[in-house]
Amino acid sequence: MPLGKAQTYNDINGIISSNITLAKANGPYLIHQVIVSAGATLTIEAGASVSIDGYLQVEGTLIARGSGNEKVYFNYGGGSIKIEATSTNSLIENAIINYIPVSVDGATTIKNSYLKGFQGQTTLTVNGNSPTISGNTIKGTLDTSAVILVSGGSPTILNNNVIAFVDNGLYPNPPAGMNRFGSANGIHVFNANGGEITNNKFYGPFRDVAVEVDAGTLKVSGNLEYPVEILAFPT
């Protein structure tokens, strides 16, 4: 398909090598296997709805900027979003990312959004660079130990609501505060080279601790836990 005119199609597949925009009026969209090449920008308008059944791999730039009244919607389709190390100035703002795991290697800002991954896949993974993750509500998933996993880089993670996935095998009436098989950590840092985890709120009981740092140096302060409270997540 002519990806230079991708905004006029519902189905999108292949390599994006020039700047394109997915307009709200021409959606909804279904992304199959899409690579945004270095030097190219994929812009998703406020109010646009995008389902991913394969992957959205960003080597260039992704701009998905919603508003308070019109979010950008990334919907479940069994796919994932990966922002590569070559990505520059990618932005996800005022978006709802539902059942789609996000992996960040490049320069990225994710703010004022809702994120929830898919079963067995960490909701948000930071592998490198210095991304800023702020003002979001981020929920864990079944069969993953952490809601946010940091394996490298120097991320700034602040002012987020981080929600444990709670699964104790005793539904529908589990004892309050019990979590046998759900999220172990809100944020698990395997390694970091700076950055900060500050002023985040952690909701629901975590099996281990809200924040665990195995190696590296970063600032951890001002975080609060609410082990018996659960926040709603929009659909």
Give the mean pLDDT of 47-61. 96
d(CA 187, CA 45) in angstroms, rounded, equals 30
Tell me: pLDDT of 50 over 70.
yes
Give the mean pLDDT of 168-189. 75
Give the mean pLDDT of 179-192. 88
Predicted model pTM: 0.91
Select the more confidently predicted residue: 143 or 173: 143
Tell me: pLDDT of 171 over 70.
no
Each as own residue / partner, the long-range contacts of residues 142-147 (CB below 8 Å, 24 or more positions apart, any chain) are: 142/167, 142/181, 142/182, 143/119, 144/117, 144/120, 144/183, 145/183, 145/184, 145/185, 145/188, 146/122, 146/183, 146/184, 146/185, 146/186, 146/187, 146/188, 147/122, 147/123, 147/183, 147/185, 147/186, 147/187
37 — pLDDT class (breaks 50, 70, 90): very high
120 — pLDDT class (breaks 50, 70, 90): confident
DSSP 8-60: G-SEEEEEE-S-EEE-GGG--EEEEEEEE-TT-EEEE-TT-EEEEEEEEEESS
Across the strands, what pairs with 151? none
Name which of 151, 148, 143 is nearest 161 in CA terms: 148
pLDDT at site 174? 60
Tell me: pLDDT of 4 over 50.
no
Q: Which residues of 30-63 are buried (b: 16+ CB within 10 A; e: fewer)?
A: bbbebbbeeebbbbbbbbbbbbbeebbbbbbbbb
- 7 DSSP assignment: G
